[in-house]
Amino acid sequence: PKVEAYHKRKLSDKFFCVYLDATYVPLRRETFEREAVYIAIGIKPNGHKEVIDYCIAPNENIEVWTELLQSMKSRGLEQVELFLSDGVVGMKTALAKTYPQAHFQRCLVHVMRNICAKVRVEDREAIMSEFKQIHQQANKAAAVDVLHAFYAKWDKSYNHVIRNLKDIEPDLLVFYNYPKQIRASIYSTNMIKSFNNVIKRKAKPKAEFPTEQSLDTFIGIQAMSYNDRYFNRIHKGFGQVQDTLESYFD
């Protein structure tokens, strides 16, 4: 009943940023399968963070993400300034339908991993250290210069990789539009990874969950204890810029 109430509770009307990510947990269906757990964690303008909601489905697809977003909206979450996620196909479209005013930042850690998977082993270290420079600049103009220098250097060797990067460039540097105190928290979905790791670590001894309900209860307990633990704690950097973050909302 507590987990059911958690899924139905009224949500805060605004979050400054919302992280979206799916993780996989073993669940017994017809055969023994891993199940996708879709998770949304948000940080309010006052710096308080919480697991907003989650849902379970056989695999990750944009239809389920759309349902989760619509459910969040119907439960009172009216405004989000910034969404962060990896490159799930169709995510921007789904966000534009549900939260047309929101901005979108693609997780730079995921982007870097995708690049590394497509380049030769001997080039990986150089590419990684150069790509990391993109999120370490003083401002957006400097970051654009670094990104374009990256294109110029690697385009000849990895034309397809650079072409893909150019296609998503509008989503790579959005975090520079916000105060520098919080940028370290909003260029990747790392913030949500720590919650995913808790789920995976605590699920390990169970080997697999016998039913979807047992998995839902297990994750609900983790979500509620996370929310209790961080209730009234201010996420790093957010306390210094609270007034600025409030000003993004009506």
| Mean pLDDT of successive 10-residue stretches along the chain, which has 250 residues | 95 97 78 81 96 91 95 97 92 94 96 95 96 96 97 96 96 97 96 88 79 90 94 94 92
End-to-end alpha carbon distance in the chain: 35
Rg (Cα) of the chain, in Å, rounded? Answer: 19
Distance, in Å, from the CA atom of 156 to the CA atom of 162, rounded to the nearest integer, reads 9
Quick one: tokens of 223? 């979500």
In sequence order, what are the beta bridge partners of 23?
Answer: 37
Residue at 92: amino acid letter: K
- Report the pLDDT value the prediction gives residue 32, as an integer from 0 to 100: 56
For the chain, how long is the longest CA-to-CA vector? Answer: 58
Contacts of 68 (CB under 8 A, 6+ apart): 38, 40, 53, 54, 55
Paired with 54 in beta bridges are 39
pLDDT at 182: 97
pLDDT (tens digit, 9 = 90+) per residue, 44-94?
999 999 999 999 988 888 999 999 999 999 999 999 999 999 988 899 999
Specify the pLDDT at position 143: 98
- Which of these, 131, 118, 187, lies nearest to 158 by C-alpha position? 118
Specify the pLDDT at position 7.
Answer: 96
The confidence score (pLDDT) of residue 212 equals 84
Q: Which residues of 211-239 are buried (b: 16+ CB within 10 A; e: fewer)?
A: eeeebbebbbebbbebbeebeeebbebbe
Q: Looking up tokens 């150019």, which residue turns up?
A: 166
Q: What token pair was written down for 172? A: 């790579």
Type of residue numbered 158: Y
Token code pair at residue 244: 């600025």
Q: Measure the CA–CA gap between 76 and 84, rounded to whole angstroms.
A: 20
pLDDT of 174 reads 98
How far apart are the C-alpha atoms of 15 and 184, rounded to whole Å? 18
pLDDT the model gives residue 209: 81
